[in-house]
Amino acid sequence: MGVVRLCGSPEHAMSRRAVLGALGAGAFTGGALANPLAMQNKRVLMIFLAGGVSQLETWDPKPGAPTGGPFRAIPTSVPGTHVCELLPCTAGQIHRLALVRGINTAEDDHGKGSYIMHTGRRQEPSVNYPHLGSLVAKMVAAPENPLPGYLHVEPGGSGGSSSADAAFLGPKFGSVSISDGKPPANIDLPGTLTSGRDDMRHAMRRKADSRFLASRNTAETEAYTQTHEQARQMIAKKKLFDTANEPGKLGDSYGRHDFGRHCLLARRLLEGGAPFVKVTHTNYDTHHENFDFHIERMGEFDRTFATLIEDLHQRGMLSSTLVLVVSEFGRTPNINRNYGRDHWSKAWSIALGGQGVVGGAVVGKTNATGTAVVDRQVNAGHLFATYFRALGLDPAKKHYIDQRPIPMTDPAGSAIGEILA
């Protein structure tokens, strides 16, 4: 019997017959196969490894080099391509991913590096640029979509939304935080309120909104009205947040830790129609004990991420979902006196796959010690142009602010054609 290799080891294999049987029985909720047209909708999933994951302990190992650290490089599902041994499960999915190993963003500050990787631009005093999630929410999401266009599943936090992420696109395209993978607050109607009375309330609100908008129509008032409508529609989608009815083996493969739960929720949200979901995995700022910390963090990330990629593939979603694994920068090749690696943006790596991406491609090369890019150097502008092309969007598309044209991506950054399908 064929098996779905969620990892390289036998205990992490799932019967293909069991997966397809679960799909046929409806155990994988969301109607993945019931509506093939829905799978044509393009989506983006961003896995953000907050703090600065080490490229040497993930996508670009340098075993035997003085900067290489203690871990081996292991073969992957793509002949000739190796990754760090901390990624044995993900190694089996490299044929569905592309690696970009020649990134130089030239910014070693956490906040500024994060801004660059979310917007594709360096910070400027004259303009604030929108996050990729906000751009996707505006340019890809259907207007009638009941889910917010930019959802952020994060550990901890207080929930809520951030209109600042949308910058000049307007507050309706800001991010909405899903704190600790839990449903938004007040997603259930009060027990004393019937659906009929709720309909009457919303009819009254719409009438009041219409009168107000007739004389004070601004981006903020439109966003206010749209938020109410979207909140009401989300109530009908609240089952997306209930992961209890997922098959037990699948839940085990994702992992019962926070990151596993969050990635499983992200898949459910994407399957339910969310155009952009970001999942944050934390604690990669390894100035001390880099190797111990990466054993721990990659131990959570590896199996969960490999399961997520396989799950998306089995559901027919991977081909229409652009998957990104990014961080604000990498870690220094040189190992400090605390057995840590510091911030390093001059030569690092990311992984991406799915929609519009050539699986198994590797672009860029660093030198033998990982201190510099020696072939096909790119920056965040190139990455964003690549994301847009992968989604079938024009990177040069402009948004106008007071008749001032602002390209959606940095005009100096061209797409990385070698990894585009």
Q: What pLDDT, on the 0 to 100 scale, is given for residue 188?
A: 66
Checking if the pLDDT of 106 tops 80, the result is: yes
The angle subtended at Cα 56 by Cα 54 and Cα 61, nearest 5°, is: 155
Three-class DSSP labels, 243-263: CCCCCHHHHHHHCCCHHHHHH
For residue 33, being part of any structural domain is answered with no
Q: What pLDDT, on the 0 to 100 scale, is given for residue 69?
A: 98
Average pLDDT over residues 33-56: 76
Bridge-based pairing of strands 321-326 and 348-354 is: antiparallel
Checking if the pLDDT of 307 tops 90, the result is: yes
pTM across the whole model:
0.85
Model confidence at 401, pLDDT cuts 50, 70, 90, reads: confident
Rounded to whole angstroms, the Cα distance separating 33 from 54 reads 38
Bridge-based pairing of strands 404-407 and 398-401 is: antiparallel
- Tokens 């870690």 sit on residue: 331
For residue 82, being part of any structural domain is answered with yes
Q: What pLDDT, on the 0 to 100 scale, is given for residue 165?
A: 95
> Which of the residue ranges 2-16, 127-141, 341-355 would you say has the lowest mean pLDDT?
2-16
For residue 73, being part of any structural domain is answered with yes
Cα dihedral 31, 389, 45, 293 in deg (nearest 10): 150
Q: What pLDDT, on the 0 to 100 scale, is given for residue 400?
A: 87
Average pLDDT over residues 213-236: 64
Checking if the pLDDT of 31 tops 60, the result is: no
CB atoms under 10 Å from CB of 218, counted, come to 10
For residue 295, being part of any structural domain is answered with yes
Q: Which helix (H) or strand (E) holds 177?
A: strand 175-179
Q: What pLDDT, on the 0 to 100 scale, is given for residue 121?
A: 97
For residue 175, being part of any structural domain is answered with yes
Closest CA relative to residue 137, chosen from 48, 75, 230, 255: 230
Checking if the pLDDT of 96 tops 60, the result is: yes
DSSP type of residue 166: G
Average pLDDT over residues 104-119: 98
Average pLDDT over residues 252-261: 96
CB atoms under 10 Å from CB of 114, counted, come to 19
Are 167 and 175 a contacting pair, CB within 8 Å?
no
For residue 197, being part of any structural domain is answered with no
- DSSP string for residues in 93-105: TGGGEEEEEEE--
Checking if the pLDDT of 105 tops 50, the result is: yes
CB atoms under 10 Å from CB of 275, counted, come to 24
For residue 181, being part of any structural domain is answered with yes
Q: 3-class SS at 411?
A: coil
- List the CATH number of the domain containing 363: 3.40.720.10
Q: What pLDDT, on the 0 to 100 scale, is given for residue 348?
A: 98
Task: Pick the more confident residue, 203 or 295.
Answer: 295
The per-residue pLDDT of the chain, averaged, comes to: 86
Checking if the pLDDT of 178 tops 60, the result is: yes
Domain that holds residue 348: 40-185+237-419
Number of domains in the chain: 1
Average pLDDT over residues 286-299: 98
Checking if the pLDDT of 225 tops 60, the result is: yes
Average pLDDT over residues 50-64: 98
Checking if the pLDDT of 30 tops 70, the result is: no
- DSSP string for residues in 9-77: SGGGEEEHHHHHHHHHHT-S-S-TTT-GGGGGS-EEEEEEETTT--STTTTS--TTSTTS-SPPEEE-S
Task: Pick the more confident residue, 189 or 398.
Answer: 398
**CA distance from start to end of the chain:** 31
Checking if the pLDDT of 36 tops 60, the result is: no
> Which of the residue ranges 11-15, 291-295, 384-388 would you say has the lowest mean pLDDT?
11-15
For residue 27, being part of any structural domain is answered with no
CB atoms under 10 Å from CB of 102, counted, come to 24
> Which of the residue ranges 97-101, 171-175, 220-224 would you say has the lowest mean pLDDT?
220-224
